Amino acid sequence: MAEVLLFHHACGLTPGVREFAGELERAGHTVHIPDLYEGKVFGSLAEGAAHARQVGFGTLTGRGRHAAEELPGGLVYAGFSLGVLPAQYLAQTRAGARGALLFEACAPVAEFGGAWPRGVPVQVHGMDGDEFFTGEGDLEAARALVESAEDAELHLYPGEGHLLADSGLPSYDERAAALLRERVLGFLDRIG
C-alpha cells in the first residue's frame, strides 16, 4: 500500500480534508496530513487565501518541506489547491517520490526546477469551469505537464466549483468527488 503526504487547501486542515484522508486510510493506505496553518481553519476560501498571503507561500511550502523531512522517502505527495505548492515542489525535488496527486491546481513544472522527474507518475484533477483552475493558468500548466511527463493524467470534471472533494464546504460535488476518489485509489493501488 502507498504512503501519502497530503497537504490541505487554503481553508486549512478542515474536517473535509480529514475525511478524505480517512477514506484513503480505510482503503489500506497510510496518510499524513500536516497542518500548514498551525491550527487555523477558515470558513471561506477568501479568508483562507488572505491568511496564506499574509503567512507567505514560501513559508507554507517550507512548512511542507519540513513535514516531509520527518517522514521516510518513497512518498506520494498530494495537495488540494494551495496544498499543491508543497506537494508538487516535493514530488519534483525530493528523491524517491513514488507519485503525485494534484487537486485543483498545478504550477508550471519550471517553477520547481525544470522537467518532471522520470518515473514519478502524476494525476491532476480539476473542474472544467473552476475560475481558479481554468482562469489562472493551472489548467494550461496541467496540460503541459501531461504532455511532457511519461506517466501523467489530467482529469476534468463538469462544474464550476473549487475544492470539489471537501465534503464540509459548499463547493463539494458528491458525484465528482466520488469519481475523483475512485481514480485516486486506483492510482495508489497501482503504485503502492
| pLDDT at 73 (0 to 100) | 87
Which triple of cell numbers denotes residue 163? Answer: 475544492
Distances (CA, A) of 135 to 6, 118, 128: 24, 29, 10
- pTM of this structure: 0.96
Instruction: Give the Cα separation of 180 and 151 in Å (integer).
Output: 18
pLDDT in tens, 92-143: 999 999 999 999 999 999 999 888 999 999 999 999 999 999 999 999 999 9
Domains along the chain with CATH numbers: 3-191 (3.40.50.1820)
Supply the pLDDT for residue 154: 98
Task: Please report the DSSP string for 20-53 in residue order.
Answer: HHHHHHHTT-EEE---TTTT-B-SSHHHHHHHHH
Q: What count of other Cβ atoms lies within 10 Å of the Cβ of residue 171?
A: 17
Sequence letter at residue 115: A
In this prediction, residue 155 carries a pLDDT of 98
Q: Give the tens place of pLDDT for each residue, 29-82.
A: 999 999 999 999 998 999 999 999 999 999 998 999 999 999 998 999 999 999
